Chain A
């Protein structure tokens, strides 16, 4: 029982913490973010397993984590509102060449981040060449040139 309870609890703690820490944490990963993720993985592993390193415990935890994931995917399919809360929604950062400063500030994105995405994805040199920039639900920035 404890293995399943631990698995479900840790899954939701991670889900809430990652979701509330903002999308930048997930997609635009710096070297430090990567190290942070490794530390979180190690901490989570200890909290999941406790002092029980048996195969049964590991198997139960794996089944629990996959099980919760499957249940949530069905819930998201069943209710678009749940999908919205769990996955988030895209945010338009530049519309028709006009920069939405409020969206940038709230999403903790700066113009440099958009220019990086524009260079990498479209080979664009300047901001005025961008028609649309969208912060996607997965944390990536997609660029549509003029």
Chain B
């Protein structure tokens, strides 16, 4: 059995002071990383609120507000504003979106959801000429990066990307 060395002052101890000095430095660096992580979280990089958390695409027929950063298993929302005119509004989301996100609820409920060339098309009835604001309540089923496309009414599909943190 190897015994710890006896120091000049008589104390028998294995101190590893050089390692401890390095570790103290590593501790301080890690505290800075802790702080930066918290600042990033406050800015919204880890999802669940913050100025960077969401991304909005604006097209001629409205806008789609989706999370840029979301969390696995946590609830989130997609909000869309569909421009007025006509008796029907449409929101189209590509299949990649549904592979990661479970749509738990849609408010207001669509009159139909059907498969189209670009993905699933939600159809909404709108009697007035006012824009229709709708919310999809989501829950991410898997962590990872989700690239999908969204379009409003007959507008061109826009590419979007959401990072789902584990």
Contact = CB atoms under 8 A, between A and B. Distances in A.
A89 B14 contact: yes
Contacts of A132: 9, 11
Interface string A98-116: 0000000011000000000
Contacts of B26: 20
Given A20-B30, A50-B73, A51-B73, A90 B24 contact: no
B126 to A, nearest CB: 36
Nearest to B31: A20
Contact of B27 (A9, A22, A90, A134): A22
The dominant DSSP class at the B interface is helix
A39 B119 CA distance: 44
Contacts of A9: 166
A134 B24 contact: no
Contacts of A65: none
A124 interface: no
Chain A contact-residue range equals: 10 to 19
Contacts of B17: 91
A84 interface: yes
A96 B9 CA distance: 7
Contacts, number: 40
Interface of A: 9, 20-22, 50-51, 84, 88-92, 95-96, 106-107, 132, 134, 144
B101 to A, nearest CB: 16
A58 to B, nearest CB: 18
Contacts of B27: 20-22
Nearest to A132: B11
B11 A91 contact: no
A89 B19 contact: yes
A89 B11 contact: no
Given A51-B73, A89-B16, A95 B11 contact: yes
B30 to A, nearest CB: 4
Nearest to B33: A20
Contact of B20 (A21, A51, A91): A91
Interface string B21-37: 10110110011001000
B13 A90 contact: yes
Contacts of A89: 14-16, 19-20
A115 B110 CA distance: 71
Contacts of A90: 13-15
Contacts of B13: 90, 92, 134
Contacts of B73: 50-51
Contacts of A92: 11, 13, 15
